[in-house]
Chain A
Amino acid sequence: MSLTNLAIVLDFVTNQRDPMPDPIYAAVGALIRQRRDTIGMTQSTLAARAGVSRTSIANIERGGQAMLVHQLLNIARALKVQPVSLLPKDAPTAQPQTDVGISETVQILLGRLDTTRRRAR
């Protein structure tokens, strides 16, 4: 795959606004909120110290925003904890992955394909 073509695909994929990020963010958000409540810090203070908007903190705590690594590090520093303590031990998953491989039906269909080069049309 050429770089430009790959770029088109990647651009498309990364531009998708995920309506609900991976549940891992809800777990991280809950840990951030827990720590913030423990030390009695407001969302606004945390936002100011971590260099993000208060809305972002609210979204992050809700699990509605996929935060970036540097934001996680800044939040951890503002909360005076190791970043790792804001990460859940296990990655929660939204739903069991059923599409782990090529389905049996498709395997059978693949067997019916002519493997000689098909002429372009």
Chain B
Amino acid sequence: MKPLRVRYARIERVVSKLLENFNVTELPVPIDRIVRGLGIVVQSGDLGDVSGLLARSADKTTIGVNSKHPRTRQRFTIAHEFAHFILHDGIVSHFDKEYRVNFRSAESSQGTSIEEMEANFFAATILMPREFLDRDEAWRALDSDELVQKLAARYKVSGHAMSLRLANVYNRERPF
């Protein structure tokens, strides 16, 4: 079954449960530990223009990530592919060239695009959890690039991802 619209509330609940179950109390969020804790194999390699992949078989699930990309992007990629694993049963194998972050195309009403939006929202939510941002008073960074960069370093995400997430959480928009 493909989702017909992005299931924001449900994704937030699932992410909260995961963070709680893996006792995540410190930053950066140990995305590798969580993913591996669910039995997924994470490997990296030179994937050319592909940022990440998910491959499910009966006995093994593999997430591949491009070793040539910055670590911050690799973390987002792992979280994004992990989202497909958790949210999208129908995806057996899949690769992503580029995230359509903050980009709504004419395909928005189609399943694939919704799935990508869900994966991006999941990745942003698990790497930059709402409760941590609130505790860090992250809204103060809304008008300060310097603070955005500091937060990005603390959460081990790109500055771009952090500024989108902040806009998402504190401006009541949904860029992811």
Q: Are B47 and A112 in contact (CB under 8 A)?
A: yes
Q: Are A120 and B1 in contact (CB under 8 A)?
A: no
Q: Considering the chains assembled together, what is the distance between the CA atoms of A8 and B93 in angstroms?
A: 22
Chain A 95-117 interface 0/1 with B at a Cβ cutoff of 8 Å (1 = within): 00001111101110110111100
Measured between beta carbons, the chain B residues less than 8 angstroms from A107 are 93
Instruction: State in angstroms the CA–CA spacing of A2 and B21 once bound together.
Output: 10
**A61-86 at interface with B (beta carbon < 8 Å):** none
CB of A39 closer than 8 Å to a CB of B: no
Contact B62 A113 (CB under 8 A): yes
Report the nearest A residue to B91, measured CB to CB: A99
Contact A113–B4 (Cβ < 8 Å):
no
Q: Which residue of B lies closest to A94 (CB)?
A: B1
Q: A5-B21, A120-B32 are in contact. Are A12 and B14 (CB under 8 A)?
A: yes
Query: Could you give, for residues 1-30 of chain A, a 1 whenever the CB lies within 8 Å of some chain B CB and a 0 otherwise?
Result: 110110011011101101100000000000
Q: How many interface residues does A have (CB within 8 Å)?
A: 30
Which residues of chain B (22-49) have a CB below 8 Å from chain A? 30, 32-33, 36-39, 42-47
Query: Are A2 and B37 in contact (CB-based, < 8 A)?
Result: yes
Decide yes or no whether A89 CB sits under 8 A from chain B. Answer: no
Question: Is B94 interfacial (CB-CB < 8 Å)?
Answer: yes
**Most B C-beta atoms less than 10 A away, residue of A112, A114, A120:** A112
- Within 8 Å CB of B74, what residues of A? 121
B43 lies within 8 A of A115 (CB): yes
B33 touches A120 (CB 8 A): yes
Q: Mark A29-70, 1 if CB is under 8 A from B, else 0.
A: 000000000000000000000000000000000000000000
Contacts A5-B21, A101-B92, A118-B43 known; A113 to B64 CB distance under 8 Å?
A: yes
Using known A-B contacts A19-B1, A105-B95, A106-B53, determine if residue A5 contacts B37 with beta carbons closer than 8 Å: yes
Chain A residue, CB-CB nearest to B35:
A120
B92 and A114 contacting across the interface, CB-CB below 8 Å: no
- Cβ contacts under 8 Å, B44 to chain A: 113-114, 118
Closest to A4 in B: B21
Contact present for A109 and B1 (CB under 8 Å): no
Distance between B83 CB and nearest chain A CB, rounded to angstroms: 11
A8 touches B14 (CB 8 A): yes
Instruction: Tell me the B residues contacting A by CB distance below 8 Å.
Output: 1, 4, 10, 14, 17-18, 21, 30, 32-33, 36-39, 42-47, 50, 53, 55-57, 62, 64, 67, 71, 74-75, 86-87, 89-95
